[in-house]
Structure 1
Amino acid sequence: MKITFLTPGTGSYYCGACMRDNALANALIQSGHEAELLPMYLPLMLDEESEGLDSDSPVFFGGINIYLQQKFSIFRNSPEWMDRLLNKPGLLQSVAKRSHMTSARDHGEMTFEMLRLDGADFEKELRKLYSWINDHGRPDVLCLSTALQSGLAREIKKQWDIPVVCCFQGEDSFLDSLPDEFRERCWILMAERCRDADLLLGPSNFYGRLMEKRLGLDEGVIKTQYNGINLEGFRGRKSLNVPAIGYLARMCEAKGLALLVDAFIHLRVQLGNENCRLEVAGAMTQGDVPLVESLKKKLSDLGLTDAVGWRPNISREEKQDFLSGLSVFTVPVQYEEAFGLYVIEAMAASVPVVQPNRSAFPELIESSGGGVCVDMDSPEQLAAAWHDLLETPERLLEIGDRGRFGVEQHYSTEAMKNSFITAVESLVQSKSKNE
């Protein structure tokens, strides 16, 4: 079976959806299937080798091209040499680093147009995609990495009689952040376009039910496809001289970085854990720098600069080494998290996790046993949860071991691949019977 993944890239930092698609494609290839990754909008930033990404593959619906075509219709007929120039990976990556400078209105307009996706307006971009796929072999299944791409489902099925799978991965928080004039229209349009797909996959039971309600879909329409990670290279925790709290996610307000720092200050100053360290790692864009600098100043004013380590934009090997040096792990997200790949990575390194008692976290932690969920309405609550765990080293060790075993059982690439194949094989068989 051949599966093609159309995956939006970030161009400047690692993203969970990109890493998930790459891990799944690699696992499919290693099992004897054909799989390819086609980057969309921006180049893919991957933390491990990709067997499914062709080095000659262009970036489809290149971000600069799409922006210009939306603003100025003349660019919908621009010559091929100009498109190639605007789609150069280096240029796209440079622009991606400045994406925080794009207005909210522009984000709203582009999101709406890609969900609406009029075949006439985007004929040039669709033609490039169709040509590449025809030259490299039509897939048995085409997988859209996020529901924000669902506008493509209808157009692809006009071109080929193949099943289209549409995955969900945190679209609600993005749509809710759009300006009023686009927010409701994009929600309505995404609900319509998702119905064009043959299969809808959500990364957790929690998120599937949430999006069914938000989109007006029948309960159970979105099937659960848990994310998985490649466990190679994840080691057990090191023996530490001092305890260390860890965070591995984008360094932004939405992920709860400010709450994390305030909780650490409370742990050190009020609760008396004076030798504890805080280690922060993850993607940091130019738009995240002001927050990080303000938190560094707050720590400096309290004399805690040397108690906190900052490691932005680390590689896979650096990430694995980082996780093995932690006592406890937390990403106190401020929105409804669809899954939380970072939680699985921490548990793979045998690090106990402390997460908010909401979103997908109770589901992940209950199935793995690799942590605890607590209310995090204040920094004091989070600090108290850390303090309780750090006071019981035996419990930390037990939870860490359970978490590693739970990830091996439920959240490996092998488990993800098997679940995905089961889901899509029935689509292909059903399509064959109807022909």
Structure 2
Amino acid sequence: MTRIAIITAGGAGMFCGSCMQDNTLARSLRLAGADAILVPTYTPIRVDEENVSAGRVFLGGINVYLDSAVPGWGRLPGVFKRWLDSPAVIRFLTRFSSSTDAAELGPLTIDLLQGTHGPQRAECRQLIDYLVDDLNPDVILFSNALLSGIVPDLKTRFRGTVLTILQGDDIFLEGLPQSHRRRAIDLVTENCRSFDGILTHSQFYSGFMSSYLSLPQRMFRQIPLCIDGERIPELRSEDESDERRLRIGYFARICPEKGADLFLKCMDRVLQQRTDCEAVIGGFLPGQHERWFHNCLSASQQRVGAERLRWLGSPADRTSKMELLSQLDLLFVPSPYCEPKGLYLLEAALMGVPALLPQHGAFPERIAELGEGMLFTPGDLNDAAAKALEFLEGSRLSVARKQTLRMTVVDHHNMETTGRQALQTIEAARLNPDRT
């Protein structure tokens, strides 16, 4: 049995698509026969499905921050620092300060990317000791390259395979202040050269990150996105759908890079032309974006009416999320950022809901695979509105087409199938490591 340690980064109490995908990947690999252990760093992860992460948090976010911010913090007694790494303490304290905004994290990012040569050397060595001496896996899989600071030193002690998954690292790096961005990218590139291979979830992102980090394409391999297709609501009947207005919805993290504000602007145009249509917006709203979002929402509601443009908040659990998605006729996420995954597109498709998305990033690959959905010219809200109106002119998807859409997701992305495929890819990387 192959033992795989997956090192994931908690999202400071928020629902994070990468954290959730890491958790589902661990579950999928277990179904495929691997001994997969999910090791959280920074903060405990928050997911809307069964959480299989280990109880202990490494590189605890509070200590990591204080190591950089307070001279001599690393010399404090270990018993006190271990208390601050308690998941309960981290959860409590990050309720009051949970920023993961790259613009505020430039110096800390540089420190972490230096691994055992930076202020967090004690925490980094602790994680290395745990991986090498306690877990002793066959494969260590980092869920992003921003965790790569420990890899050069890890490789001096660990004789197994070390991989990483890239799933949005560039957007964090691009968000760093200019004074730290170039140095951070150079450190990530340098650290990535120590990996035995790099995994992504799309052809697009493999090519993009190969260029972005100046790494050879031969290092990159693809694995599929994993989705738990169990315990999902039944598809709505045509009679149930016909009883309400046509509904276009946004469901993703509420932030500029996902295009929440662009959704509202576009819906202004669509709702003014179609009185039989309404729009809803939901998803996790980070604290740093609350004022921005509510200002945008209020302005749009004043133009089209709050009863036709509603804020649904963030669903508390997976059942509530799927119920929200099932009530849409069309998912519309006008992300200006070139998405590496597009997990929310597959979640909507699982509920029989097609999507309207910009023609960039991983979206063309996803739409082609699903056989349903529409693409618009990136950045062109006139084209997006025209495509939305074109969709509304047609009839709602029949239950048969919704079922076909659902089964396409289930067939290609269920945990059993994707677990086997991911394990095969990992085993191939073990046999043929691709280093620079």
Match of 1:422 among 417, 424, 432: 424
Aligned equivalents of 1:161 and 1:122: distance in 2? 24
Cα offset, 1:289, TM superposition: 1.0
Match of 2:410 among 408, 411, 435: 408
1:165-216 C-alpha deviation (Å, 9 max, x unpaired): 1110111111111111111111111111111011100111001100111111
Report the secondary structure of 2:33's partner residue. coil
Please say if residues 224 and 422 of structure 2, whose CA atoms lie closer than 8 Å, have aligned partners that are also in contact: no
1:359-380 C-alpha deviation (Å, 9 max, x unpaired): 1100111122131111143433
User: 1:143 maps to what in 2?
Assistant: 141
Cα offset, 1:399, TM superposition: 5.8
User: 2:13 maps to what in 1?
Assistant: 12
1:254-291 C-alpha deviation (Å, 9 max, x unpaired): 2111111111111111x2x1121212111112112112
User: 1:387 maps to what in 2?
Assistant: 389
Please say if residues 369 and 402 of structure 1, whose CA atoms lie closer than 8 Å, have aligned partners that are also in contact: no
Match of 2:179 among 178, 181, 197: 181
Please say if residues 349 and 404 of structure 1, whose CA atoms lie closer than 8 Å, have aligned partners that are also in contact: yes
Please say if residues 4 and 139 of structure 1, whose CA atoms lie closer than 8 Å, have aligned partners that are also in contact: yes
User: 1:214 maps to what in 2?
Assistant: 212
Report the secondary structure of 2:199's partner residue. strand
Please say if residues 281 and 312 of structure 2, whose CA atoms lie closer than 8 Å, have aligned partners that are also in contact: yes
Given the alignment of the two structures, is residue 236 of structure 1 paired with residue 238 of structure 2, yes or no? Answer: no
Please say if residues 253 and 291 of structure 1, whose CA atoms lie closer than 8 Å, have aligned partners that are also in contact: no
Match of 2:252 among 249, 253, 256: 249
Please say if residues 246 and 278 of structure 1, whose CA atoms lie closer than 8 Å, have aligned partners that are also in contact: yes
User: 1:196 maps to what in 2?
Assistant: 194
Aligned equivalents of 2:100 and 2:201: distance in 1? 29
Aligned partner of 1:53: which letter? Answer: S
User: 2:374 maps to what in 1?
Assistant: 372
Please say if residues 254 and 333 of structure 1, whose CA atoms lie closer than 8 Å, have aligned partners that are also in contact: yes
Q: What is the number of residues matched between the two proteins?
A: 426
Report the secondary structure of 2:258's partner residue. coil
Aligned partner of 1:164: which letter? Answer: V
Match of 1:358 among 350, 357, 360: 360
Cα offset, 1:146, TM superposition: 0.5
Aligned partner of 1:357: which letter? Answer: Q
Aligned partner of 2:195: which letter? Answer: A
> What value does the CA root-mean-square deviation take over the aligned residues?
2.3
Mean CA deviation greater in 383-392 or 397-406: 397-406
1:308-365 C-alpha deviation (Å, 9 max, x unpaired): 2323231111001111111000111111211111011011111011100111100111
1:371-401 C-alpha deviation (Å, 9 max, x unpaired): 1111143433222211111221166767644
Call closer, same or farther: CA 1:335–1:16 in 2, change over 3 Å.
same
User: 1:162 maps to what in 2?
Assistant: 160
Please say if residues 237 and 323 of structure 1, whose CA atoms lie closer than 8 Å, have aligned partners that are also in contact: no
4+ residue stretches of structure 1 with deviation over 4 A?
97-106, 394-399
Mean CA deviation greater in 400-409 or 309-318: 400-409
Cα offset, 1:94, TM superposition: 4.6
User: 1:311 maps to what in 2?
Assistant: 312
Aligned partner of 1:194: which letter? Answer: C
Call closer, same or farther: CA 1:90–1:352 in 2, change over 3 Å.
same
Aligned partner of 1:46: which letter? Answer: V
Q: Which runs of 5+ in 2 are unaligned?
A: none
Aligned equivalents of 1:352 and 1:261: distance in 2? 19
User: 1:84 maps to what in 2?
Assistant: 82
Report the secondary structure of 2:281's partner residue. strand
Q: TM-score when scaled to structure 1?
A: 0.91
Aligned equivalents of 1:46 and 1:101: distance in 2? 18
